[in-house]
Structure 1
């Protein structure tokens, strides 16, 4: 990394295997190393990746550190008319978005809010909003209409929308989703974008309100702009999404796809039982799977409060090269049954004394094999406080 640390803006240049990445930071430069790393992707649409170190996706993070980040982003949401609709962006931003929603609820007791997550899986038979994340390895996303009367009422009466993701680069996905939500609810009055890193640049950020057609604010821990010059190198042509409207993928309706107006409960009894089996010096990884992230963070946080040395992370469908912030990569079968490659990064067999895999899907054939590879235990979440340990044979 080449960087100038004496004055702002801070300029960082990274020569990746896939091209040259140039970043200019206007805010948050003092936290750059603590919050972000850089990686390369085998993706023709975008050959680089900003790897968050506080997201719990590609990099292990202490649960308490993650919860503190959620509180910082929630504190950046301006006071605005309610009800407030929070939407977390699949796949990477789901745990972050739900955590920000719950942190906001804690800071605003009694105020009305609704959490929804976008998803790449169809659940139930109700209506959906479809939109695209154009630069993604798996661009097709859906937002399900809530099926509960209270949740439907909150969605249709929301006056402020808060969209949460790990980063903003062009703002196009946020704009697409906002426009879809406004067609559903013309009463929306304000938009707030909550991200770990805003790389849209100062000029684009300044005109968000004009572009969105509503008063629009941005909350980010790091802000700047980037330029990427791709190299001539092979890209991964493997599909990252196979959508079949009739296929049952095992994705749950209980954790946010159909709307939640409250915080998830933590499985405290499970945490106590697990902590009793863990020696003080043991290192523990709580591993979420795919879109199932926030419940594993809550379990990790409960273990941490009991004195366990624990980090949290998640599997992903994003193909990333072993370079830079990605020191190790493991391929694994897709537990949602789409038949696409999945990965876990910066985790090697034997690295942790205990690996606890949290999943919303039935174990099927995919998860037991992965569990044996990491000497892990499997925990199937039927509901937030109804968790079944699945034997690994």
Structure 2
């Protein structure tokens, strides 16, 4: 999107992608849309476009301070409703965003009770799983674990308000599927709030959410509008993006949100202080999360940013995206969770940063070393919030 001051041009966009024609009408937030998002083409037969967020820390390198500011803005959209509240972040793309919104809400409401939990495509432990579908996704099966801790489970089962967080809303179908699953578990849910960076459902569909959901629904988004997409004659490459095995241990951790959290994660300040002492002041540093493990990278990145380093945060993903538009570089590497699904990192090239730090929750393995080897990166295994071990790359 090209910068312009013409309100009419700001409100209307037409983007010709290799996969089709995307047309947008922006109702709110048009003036900052260029700062918040770009457009990319998915290598996905179900949906050929991507609203690529520049402040999410997933497909685009984002400054930690900018990400935290977005978290605070979205947390401020949550209504002052009766609690307890349950914040659910959508895997994989919005896990870090949802955790950040939850933590921003906690900071703004000291003493209030809330639960954070994120959906996942991996099993943790042996407890019950709730399954729902993200139909347009490259990997459509999603799961929500029931917390094992009795107090956290009581929060989920006693919630009055669901706060569902994703980077974008386009149809509302995934939110509805998850809400229905949660209401079967907890019929006492009285309200849903949707928090997204962009909402492209359109005014009419947004106004009709309460009727679709069968209970009051509010929406908080930084950019709102409506889209139309006309697919081109593009054939997406065949490939499996999900091989869920309920009995397989993929090395996903229970400590960072899959089984629920009621407090903010602590930043690894000792690690940040040590690394900052090794780096030149103002050095360019990329701090990368891996797959669903995102928020710890932001916390480390922010701690380094506070020490005078020029930091960007982003994460690897299983989503295949074409090198076009808002994606000018792509690297592929093996899956460190062991599903045998290709993973990618976008918009980061070897030699672009002075230092690259990869944060991961899985045990060290050949896939992680291959990833680090492509970028000349260092590996940091987070076994808990503050128990972080640097792993030799060779």
TM bracket, shorter-chain basis:
over 0.9
Contact 1:56 1:312 in 2 (8 A): yes
Three-state SS of the structure 2 residue aligned to 1:383 is coil
Q: Aligned in 2, Cα 1:205/1:380: closer, same or farther, shift over 3 Å?
A: same
Cα distance in 2 between the residues matched to 1:377 and 1:7: 46
Q: TM-score by structure 2 length?
A: 0.98
Contact 1:3 1:11 in 2 (8 A): no
Cα distance in 2 between the residues matched to 1:283 and 1:243: 37
Superposed CA deviations along residues 247-286 of structure 1, whole A, max 9, x for unmatched, are 1100000000000011011111011001000101421000
Cα distance in 1 between the residues matched to 2:265 and 2:112: 17
Contact 1:4 1:10 in 2 (8 A): no
- Correspondence list, 1:105-120, <5 A: 105-120=106-121
Superposed displacement of residue 5, structure 1: 5.1
Cα distance in 2 between the residues matched to 1:81 and 1:6: 42
Contact 2:2 2:34 in 1 (8 A): no
User: Residue in 2 aligned with 1:123?
Assistant: 124
Q: Aligned in 2, Cα 1:3/1:358: closer, same or farther, shift over 3 Å?
A: closer
Three-state SS of the structure 1 residue aligned to 2:383 is strand
Mapped pair 1:277 → 2:274: no
User: Residue in 2 aligned with 1:168?
Assistant: 169
Contact 1:4 1:12 in 2 (8 A): no
Please tell me the root mean square deviation across aligned C-alpha atoms, in Å.
1.1
Superposed CA deviations along residues 99-134 of structure 1, whole A, max 9, x for unmatched, are 000000000000000000000001110001000000
User: Residue in 1 aligned with 2:269?
Assistant: 268
Q: TM-score by structure 1 length?
A: 0.98
User: Residue in 2 aligned with 1:7?
Assistant: 7
Superposed displacement of residue 372, structure 1: 1.6
**5+ long unaligned stretches in structure 2:** none
User: Residue in 2 aligned with 1:312?
Assistant: 313
Contact 2:183 2:189 in 1 (8 A): yes
Superposed displacement of residue 210, structure 1: 1.2
User: Residue in 1 aligned with 2:93?
Assistant: 92
Superposed displacement of residue 59, structure 1: 0.3
Three-state SS of the structure 2 residue aligned to 1:251 is coil
User: Residue in 2 aligned with 1:190?
Assistant: 191
- Correspondence list, 1:316-327, <5 A: 316-327=317-328
User: Residue in 2 aligned with 1:328?
Assistant: 329
Three-state SS of the structure 2 residue aligned to 1:373 is helix
Cα distance in 2 between the residues matched to 1:170 and 1:89: 15
Cα distance in 2 between the residues matched to 1:166 and 1:71: 14
Contact 1:55 1:96 in 2 (8 A): yes
Cα distance in 2 between the residues matched to 1:276 and 1:2: 40
- Correspondence list, 1:222-233, <5 A: 222-233=223-234
Q: How many residues align?
A: 393
Cα distance in 2 between the residues matched to 1:10 and 1:56: 25
Cα distance in 1 between the residues matched to 2:126 and 2:5: 53
